[in-house]
Structure 1
Amino acid sequence: MGGIVIFGAGGRVGRAAVAEAVRRGHRVTAVVRDPAKYPELAGLPGVTVARGDATDPAAVARTATGHDAAVNASVRLDVPSEEYFTGAARALTEGLRRAGVGRLLVLGIATTLETAPGVRLMDDPAFPEQYRTFSQGHVAEFELLTAEAGGLDWLMVVPPMDLTPDAPATGGYVSAVGAVTGTGRISHADLAVALLDEIDAPKHHAVQLAVSH
């Protein structure tokens, strides 16, 4: 099995992705800002915990070298959304090219998905402005990757609004390109299944892939 580098591995989605990658026999580098806070990750078989920053191209290149694919599950709530997600997209694009990593999966947000052609959840006039501002960060990230990713094979995987932290993996999910689908909920474990499926057998490229139960 190949190697996967996971940025933001200390968060709930990141930890679920690490666990699913380990279950499938992958070698994993779990990238976090402070490795001392995540001793449970270091105890997993085949996992190396590394200090890193998804917005620093040099750090991305250093931690990603020798891997086949990357997942960005990182987020910073103390940095403006658009600044963080576009900064990470630029750094990942540059750093992964330097490292020779060909596949990148990033997490999106359900509010950017369409409920009808050309109509996104975030376009509803009643949608709270602070959430629209946060959602715009993912819109800008998607646009930047579309324009600047070059030969990097990337995909934005978008979970529904309702992410269930501790529900067990069923191994099942439904998906749709760019549009709301399914029940509007999914477990972290099954979101990780969807992520790893798109690493082990890529089927979607340079789109928003919505996944749900």
Structure 2
Amino acid sequence: MFGAGGRVGSATVAEAVRRGHTVTAVVRDPAKYPDLGADQVAVVRGDVTDAAAVAALAAGHDAAVNASARLDVPSEEYFTAAARALATGLGKAGVRRLLVLGIASTLQTVPGVRIMDDPDFPEEYRVFSQGHVAEFELLREQADGLDWLMVVPPLDLSSEAPATGTYRTAVGTVIEGEGRIAHADLAVALLDEIDRPAHHKVQLAVSS
């Protein structure tokens, strides 16, 4: 689990543990996350943009999840570097399944038109969103050996939303209705796609 220290990452680690999985929780500084460790969790330092580190950390695992982000590095540079390192490193480690966390602004509202394409969409968020678009394109073009999936929560990814244990999905498009999901329910969706892979090489929108 890359980016295990964030809200989505920690919720995903907790859901994996609840299901009986053994997890390697990868963070930039393990000392900052003393509560992340558990009997089934090894908290380790790692860099998702380093293919050799990815290969070493992923060895012996069945799947990898990347929920990491960096605000101090240009979005497109970071997300494409991570995607490239994951494609290379997981291949060397023999790990086939990869889930990456996307962003709602890249979903289509109508065919060919994404939320981020609206002229009134804030430019600073558009730049960040473009990093995820570039990540998706790189995976589609260069990760033939991986069974990857980009899981995309709605705009309101909330720590305050009630956890229901359920969710709805759509491929590549905004889901109708209230666009909101709890971190815990997003974690359920991620683990479901590890335990019972149902979607492959697409953007999978998830929402309550």
Task: Report the TM-score when normalising by structure 2.
Answer: 0.98
What is aligned with 1:85?
79
Deviations, residues 1-60 of structure 1 (Å, cap 9, x unaligned): xxxxx0000000000000000000000000001111111112x22000111000000110
- Deviation, structure 1 residue 167: 3.9
Distance 1:183 1:134, change over 3 A: same
Deviation at 1:92, TM superposition (A): 0.4
Over aligned residue pairs, what C-alpha RMSD do you find?
A: 0.8
CA distance in 2, matches of 1:198, 1:168: 21
Determine the structure 2 residue equivalent to 1:11. Answer: 6
Who is 1:135 aligned against?
A: 129
Whole-Å Cα distance in 1 between the matches of residues 172 and 161 of structure 2?
25
Distance in 2 (alpha carbons) for counterparts of 1:165 and 1:81: 24
Cα distance between partner residues in 2 of 1:81 and 1:109: 12
1:53 equivalent to 2:47? Answer: yes
In structure 1, the partner of 2:146 is 152
Q: Percent identity?
A: 76
User: How far does residue 168 in structure 1 lie from its aligned partner after superposition?
Assistant: 4.5
Unmatched tracts of structure 1, length 5 or more: 1-5
Question: What code does the residue aligned with 2:26 have?
Answer: V
**Please, which runs of 5 or more residues in structure 2 have no aligned partner?**
none
**Secondary structure, aligned partner of 2:35:** helix
CA–CA separation in structure 1 for the residues paired with 2:46 and 2:186: 23
**Count of aligned residue pairs for this structure pair:** 207
Range with bigger deviation, 176-185 or 165-174: 165-174
Deviation, structure 1 residue 166: 4.3
For residues 137 and 33 of structure 1, the distance between their equivalents in structure 2, rounded to whole angstroms, comes to 20
After superposition, where does 1:104-115 map in structure 2 within 5 Å? Answer: 104-115=98-109
Post-superposition CA distance 1:60-110 (Å, at most 9, x none): 011110100000000000000000000000000000001111100000000
Q: Which runs of 4+ in 1 moved over 3 A?
A: none
Contact 1:167/1:189 (<8 A) preserved: no
Separation in structure 2 between the aligned mates of residue 137 and residue 179 of structure 1, nearest angstrom? 18
* Structure 1 stretch displaced more, 158-167 or 51-60: 158-167
Using structure 1 for the length normalisation, give the TM-score: 0.95
Task: Tell me the residue number matched to 1:176.
Answer: 170
